[in-house]
Structure 1
Amino acid sequence: MAKKALITGITGQDGSYLAELLLSKGYEVYGMIRRSSSFNTARLEHIYSDPHESGARMHLVYGDLNDGSRLNHLIRTTKPDEIYNLGAQSHVRVSFDVPEFTGDTTGLGVLRLLDAIRETGHECKFYQASSSEMFGKVQEVPQTEDTPFYPRSPYGAAKVFGHWITVNYRESYNMFACSGILFNHESPRRGETFVTRKITRAVGRIVHGLQDKIFLGNLDAKRDWGFAGDYVEAMW
């Protein structure tokens, strides 16, 4: 019998690459999406098939990290072998504009998922996408798994909560729950508000005479960059 995986954040860069990988490994994939008046599934169109077709192994289901009862229902009905929590309000700058929403989704959303697993009694493997933003004001270079966290944004602080609540549930309830601390990872599927896509998109527009300037934020930041496809393979 094929393994089943539930992915939150499946419409994002990482979620689409992970779905692609798991389907290639023979998984049945359930992707949680939020109800919206417009479709945001462009990154999935090349792997999506109509669920009414025989042999369809990818399913999109409505849910939200802010809705614990729905998460509980999805775990009961899909019975996944693995859960990958990639969903979040993931833009650091925006987290200062919507700190409460960021904390509720990126932080408490992890708690809701873990508690849904605990409450249903369903045995599965849980992966939490932690972030290098947890290190924030870095205490040492390079960072390791033992480097103290010092988040400098609501997003980073929410990720620290998600990271430690994963540890707490693993130790308190003997759950298979782990985190991967991800540094920046890029691809052609990266959102256009992130710096790599912002630059490449602006260069294309400048070449075609559609704009003549590019505005950037902090030019002193230093980041380790990788390819998103490699990162999701590490998650698996």
Structure 2
Amino acid sequence: MMSLAGKIKSIGILVVGIGLCGVFFNNCAGSFGEIESSSLSSFCSPTCHPETANIEGENIDIRQTTESYMSLLNMSKADFAGTDFTEVMNEQKRRRSLLPQDRNSALVNSVGVLSQSSLAGEICRVFVSKKAATSTLFTGVDLQKTPSETAEAAWLATYDRMAEQIWGRALRPEERAAVSEFIKASITETADSVNLNKTSGTQNLESANLAIMMCTTVLSAPEATFL
């Protein structure tokens, strides 16, 4: 049986790369024109950590992507400190050459989508660990409990709210059906997981992993990145 970690990777490819992207790509393709820098200062600006700013050969798109992810989740630089900051910066360095240098829909490819998913996963990891407890996105979801102790409907409602906030629209019926099927399968699988009763901070490890996966698939979709 595939582990939850393996399923996270698979669903990231399936739902974002094939399913959801295929469904809504035509709606977002027109948004790939030139975009101005976000009003949120880059992660990180010279006033934050000068040693990380204006890295030689840096793909500016990696900054715009990170800024976009943070803004969509209502996060700020203050939410990243210590090892969280280091890990996100390392992920930026790993992915910066893999994102398209030009805002052109013809340059979107699987490598770029997976690179965005990987970076989004780091942002979502920090979001879930530090902000989920107070975020209205997770209303009805208790991350201190196992996935099955939260109703499937509550998990699905969380995904609905994420889509509304991050994509600016509700899930379409076919998207909702795919997400519902994934949530159901994940809850069933985690019932036999060796990590079922393990914790990450105050959160149940499997519930935290499921929350990170859901956040990642929504955040790394083209509709979120190229608003």
Q: Shorter-chain TM-score: what band?
A: under 0.3
The structure whose residues are more often helix, as a share, is 2
Indicate the structure (1 or 2) with the bigger Cα radius of gyration. Answer: 1
Give me the TM-score of the superposition, normalised by structure 2.
0.27
Give me the TM-score of the superposition, normalised by structure 1.
0.26
Greater RCO (CA < 8 Å, at least 6 residues apart) = 2
The structure whose residues are more often strand, as a share, is 1
